[in-house]
Amino acid sequence: MHSFVNHGYRVTLFSPKDAPIDPEVEGVETEAMEEIYVPSRRMGKHAAPACLADVFRLYLMQKTDFVWMDSDMLSISPITLNEGYAMSWSGPDGQINNAALRVPRDSEALRYLLDHIENPELIPEWMNRDHRAELAEMPLERRLLAQGRMLRIVYGPRGLNHALQKTGESRFAASMEAYSPVPWWLTDLFYSPRGGVAPYITEQTRVVHLFNDQIRKYNKNRMPPEGCFLDQYIKESGFKP
């Protein structure tokens, strides 16, 4: 968050109103997630946080002009919209990464996904046949929660990619170097003083995704080695770890 504040962005951190978070970063605003999305009692009590975040992200696109950024992103250069979209592929043969995301409020893909969230009679066609059959036998009020349990990323990357490709909006996705230049399996490069991530960052790079859940515990528990990408980034940004 500090990196985006440092680059002049307005940064808002959303959290549940009954569990507010103090980001301890000057310049970061806080807001209750319920201002954007109020989950049902069933979803709020039983859904996985990641699944709720995926649904929240879609409503954020509908109700605001914010660009979503996961908390493990670092700002590199100003974000530019491509006809209202900010997103990129996660690899040459991969999928569109929703860790950095902006789609227009009137996006057909967005409406398609929200329709499935709001109308339990709609069973996601991007889920496998067995899951769809199981959902069809369930009471309507249980279906949304069940979808997230069967496929955690049902309204994350899996659903987003299906919807964007169905509507043709995937054409607005930039190449991976824009928002996901370093693949998740190469997170060690952020800590390498030799070579590192320099070959992956280009003039088109807007952010880098650190993939926090893929960083080795050894690296998380130590200061970045002198001369590696993270060491240089920290020093240039003035951030105090």
pLDDT digits (tens, 9 = 90+) for 142-160: 999 999 999 999 999 999 9
CA–CA gap between residue 129 and residue 127 (Å, rounded): 7
E strand residue ranges, 140-229: 207-209
Question: Rounded to a whole number, what is the largest CA-CA distance in the chain?
Answer: 58
In the Cβ-directed half-sphere of 71, how many Cα atoms lie within 13 Å? 12
Buried b (16+ CB within 10 A) or exposed e, 121-152: eebbebbeeebeeebeeeeeeebbbbbbebbe
pLDDT at 25: 80
Per-residue pLDDT of the chain (241 residues; tens, 9 = 90+): 989 999 999 999 999 988 888 777 888 999 999 999 999 999 999 999 999 999 999 999 999 999 999 999 999 999 999 999 999 998 777 799 999 999 999 999 999 999 999 999 999 999 999 999 999 999 999 999 999 999 999 999 999 999 999 999 999 999 999 999 999 999 999 999 987 899 999 999 999 999 999 999 999 999 999 999 999 999 988 877 6
The architecture of the domain spanning 2-237 is Alpha-Beta Complex (3.90)
pLDDT at 241: 67
Contact 49, 33 (CB under 8 A): no
CA–CA gap between residue 232 and residue 229 (Å, rounded): 5
pTM for this one?
Answer: 0.93
Contact 79, 67 (CB under 8 A): yes
pLDDT at 45: 93
